[in-house]
Structure 1
Amino acid sequence: MKRRTFLTATTTSLAAAPLTGHARATGRTAGDHEVAARFWGAMPTGVTVSRRGRVFVNFPRWGDDVPFTVAELRGGKPVAYPDAEVNREDPSDLAGHLQSVQSVVVDPADRLWILDTGSPLMAESSYGGPKLVAVDLRTDRIVRKILFPPEVVPSDSYPNDVRFDLRRGAEGMAFVTDSSGSNGVVVVDLATGRSWRRLTGHPSALPDDGFLPVIEGEPFMNRPADGEPTRFEVGSDGIAISADGKRLFYCPLSSRRLHSVSTDAVADPDASQAEVAATVEDLGYKPMADGLESDDKGRIYGGDLEHNTIWRRNPDGTYETLAQGPDLIWVDTLSVASDRHLYAIANQLNRQADHHEGHDLRRKPYLLVRVPIDTGPVRLV
């Protein structure tokens, strides 16, 4: 991740105003959100739900004790998935084991895809570590493994989140955000395993200059135990796909802007970077959000990290607040499920020791919450 030394700032006017108009309540059970699961061990980042209601989560290896980096919730508790052996961190067999998973997503064909960064402790990765792994949910067996070549995912990259359109090509395509290094989007042809980069270094994929959010009453920065504070600067992170598959929505984490790009353009391996960039649209202000999600009515979802809310962006560009409360601390990944609920991880990422002079201020449990919505997931199949 890029970092810049912080010199001086005040908290005045640093945080954008919270969304207005549709917040239903405040307090621990604000809005209609309910706690679906509590995590007392490692910190989760990702969640996804299958058509049959199976819930999967992941735990990146960022310094917590992480016995398994992917899990299925069974009886409300995480269990290593698909098994304990593949979840064993093994630097001697990067391709054969899950090293540090950042995201899990069930695709429109109801397969679980695991996005492995290959970067425990966010260190530089090596070939075999960064990969996409598919699990057949009928047999609970790994059926596909796609390794990213270093010219597509360099050692300083950080594959972050993924969305799918299975109508493209022979077996579909995946779209992955890269939130470190040069930033951008990685496209994967699922039939051949071939991958290529798009929007590398494009301004829409980079952290906003001078971005300094206020979270829980203080400027959010990297604050090491020794040394000067630096700005928290993370590029392309959240990603969602439109209901018709024509646009990809994406955002840097260190930003309050939302952009979209033509899916046809990024999916064309022969398109030039300039041709892809020409299709980028600036969709204006959005709250500071980590993950993004979309539904089959063309709406986009995210969390407002500065105001402990979950929001929805309507096709006309208006926003509404779906849930708000003091327990929604750092809403990370979101997932629209077939049960007509939006699931979201609230993991207190901003309270990690790296942001508080070496003091870990997180207070377990971390939460999986869900909000009732009037729609289902995007299924491009």
Structure 2
Amino acid sequence: MVCACSHTYTQWESGKDVATTLEVVAQLDKGPGNITVTPAGKIVVSLHQFYGHDLRIASIDDNGQLIPFATAANVNSVLGLQADAEGVVWLLDNAMRGGTTRRLVGWDASEERLVVDIDLTEVTTDQSFLNDLAVDPVRNTVYIADPASGADAAIIVVDTVRSVARRVLQGHKSVIPEDIELVIDGSPVRILADDGSEIRPRTGINPIAIDKGGEWLYYGPMHGRSMYRIRTAGLRNAELAHDDLAVKAERWSDKPICDGISIDNAGNVYLGDLANNAIGVIGSDRKYRVLISDPRLSWVDAFSFGDSGFLYAVVNQLHRSAVLNGGESATKPPYLIVKFRPQSGGAIGR
């Protein structure tokens, strides 16, 4: 294990400077995707498909080494993953490595066995890219962010007991991207098309998380300046028509372009401020503030609460990958797993 600390300061409403310490938990030679921490304290990461690793999912041992995880689940390509209070790690298989079946998989980390396997084919499109998820084990429901191609972005609601899924809010303003560009360290994110031209991507819903009580789902487009929320009761109501559900979505706050998010027990929403190499927070006052600014925070992709009240995060330099850097890789390992003290505690795994 390799650890390091840095101190950064942010000005809060009290007018006093608050020091926040960023600790490096592990330095990885393979680019991670998302992260979760099990109730037993095991750190589990997905390996980002943009880096083409053979390893799909791994736990991180005390020496910072990657150990294959849930290999018997036979997943094709996973980004989103989240552990629940019972120790089940939910894996979102987006089948983007040439697979045919998009799935939601539940893996019991203590017994090392598959407990849930739900086929999501009927609620996805040809353009679907199942990216992240929010798990509510109390209500046996998982909410999935599908940015798809942008205009057809949607939320997928899965009943994990009945193995039934529905696609909702497709094309709604709260899930589709805005026409804004992501520029990091002076360089725009760009994709090299098959014809040799460059595309400046616009990505729909990506950040997604539920609050402590599972009452509200917070979400928004990655390329967007607005965070939204909607009551989960409405999402679970299969009788609601699209328009009736759509009016229940409310704009919650401003936000920067961001990837994954997490929410603490006090309702603070944490996110990676991609353009500014920072971690920010939206407080209960609905105002966005930078919490930690550090040049090492090169694309903060995902968060998870762990033991002792720490919030863990993945730093994976995704904008420097060949996929998002015009076909040329400019990454400089190591990739980082970091942790810091949030404003309040949160549910382990989320």
Which sections of structure 1, spanning at least 5 residues, go unmatched? Answer: 1-18, 87-95
Measured in 2, the distance between the counterparts of 1:354 and 1:226 equals: 15
Shift in CA distance, 226/20, structure 1 to aligned 2, threshold 3 Å: farther
* 1:180-195 equivalence runs, <5 A: 180-181=148-149, 182-195=152-165
* Aligned amino acid, residue 160 of structure 1: N
Asked if 1:48 corresponds to 2:36, the answer is: yes
Q: Would the aligned equivalents of 2:305 and 2:348 in 1 still touch at CA under 8 Å?
A: no
Q: Which residue of 1 aligns with 2:69?
A: 81
Q: Which residue of 1 aligns with 2:145?
A: 177
Within the candidate set 107, 111, 115, 2:92 is matched to 115
SS at match of 1:375: coil
* 1:120-199 equivalence runs, <5 A: 120=97, 126=100, 129-148=101-120, 150-168=121-139, 172-181=140-149, 182-199=152-169
Question: How many Å apart are 1:316 and its aligned residue?
Answer: 1.3
Within the candidate set 260, 278, 296, 1:309 is matched to 278
Q: Would the aligned equivalents of 2:268 and 2:343 in 1 still touch at CA under 8 Å?
A: no
User: Cα deviation per residue 1:115-159 (whole Å; 9 max; x = unaligned)?
Assistant: 110111xx6x63xx21111111221211211111x3301232111
* 1:256-271 equivalence runs, <5 A: 256-271=225-240
* 1:3-82 equivalence runs, <5 A: 21=11, 31-41=20-30, 43-64=31-52, 66-75=53-62, 76-82=64-70
Measured in 1, the distance between the counterparts of 2:325 and 2:122 equals: 35
Q: Which residue of 2 aligns with 1:10?
A: none
Shift in CA distance, 116/225, structure 1 to aligned 2, threshold 3 Å: closer
* 1:194-209 equivalence runs, <5 A: 194-208=164-178
Asked if 1:279 corresponds to 2:269, the answer is: no
TM-score by length of 1: 0.82
Question: How many Å apart are 1:376 and its aligned residue?
Answer: 2.7
SS at match of 1:329: coil
* Aligned amino acid, residue 163 of structure 2: G
TM-score by length of 2: 0.89
Relative contact order: is structure 1 or structure 2 higher (C-alpha 8 Å, sep ≥ 6)? 1
* Aligned amino acid, residue 138 of structure 2: R
SS at match of 1:274: helix
Question: How many Å apart are 1:283 and its aligned residue?
Answer: 1.9
Question: How many Å apart are 1:223 and its aligned residue?
Answer: 4.2
Measured in 1, the distance between the counterparts of 2:145 and 2:197 equals: 29
* Aligned amino acid, residue 81 of structure 1: F
SS at match of 1:138: coil
Q: Would the aligned equivalents of 2:34 and 2:303 in 1 still touch at CA under 8 Å?
A: yes
* Aligned amino acid, residue 141 of structure 2: M
Measured in 1, the distance between the counterparts of 2:291 and 2:48 equals: 28
SS at match of 1:350: helix
Alignment identity in percent?
A: 28
Measured in 1, the distance between the counterparts of 2:287 and 2:262 equals: 16
Q: Would the aligned equivalents of 2:321 and 2:328 in 1 still touch at CA under 8 Å?
A: yes
* 1:233-272 equivalence runs, <5 A: 233-272=202-241
Q: Would the aligned equivalents of 1:256 and 1:289 in 2 still touch at CA under 8 Å?
A: no
Q: Would the aligned equivalents of 2:216 and 2:230 in 1 still touch at CA under 8 Å?
A: yes
Question: How many Å apart are 1:237 and its aligned residue?
Answer: 0.5
Shift in CA distance, 24/346, structure 1 to aligned 2, threshold 3 Å: farther
Deviates more, 1:336-345 or 1:223-232: 223-232
Q: Would the aligned equivalents of 2:39 and 2:86 in 1 still touch at CA under 8 Å?
A: no
* Aligned amino acid, residue 298 of structure 1: G
Which sections of structure 2, spanning at least 5 residues, go unmatched? Answer: 1-8
Q: Would the aligned equivalents of 1:207 and 1:253 in 2 still touch at CA under 8 Å?
A: yes
Q: Which residue of 1 aligns with 2:77?
A: 100
Shift in CA distance, 361/264, structure 1 to aligned 2, threshold 3 Å: same
What RMSD over aligned residues (CA atoms) do the two structures have, in Å?
Answer: 2.3
Shift in CA distance, 340/250, structure 1 to aligned 2, threshold 3 Å: same
Higher strand share: 2
Measured in 1, the distance between the counterparts of 2:344 and 2:85 equals: 15
Question: How many Å apart are 1:297 and its aligned residue?
Answer: 1.2
Q: Would the aligned equivalents of 1:260 and 1:283 in 2 still touch at CA under 8 Å?
A: yes
Q: Would the aligned equivalents of 1:186 and 1:197 in 2 still touch at CA under 8 Å?
A: yes
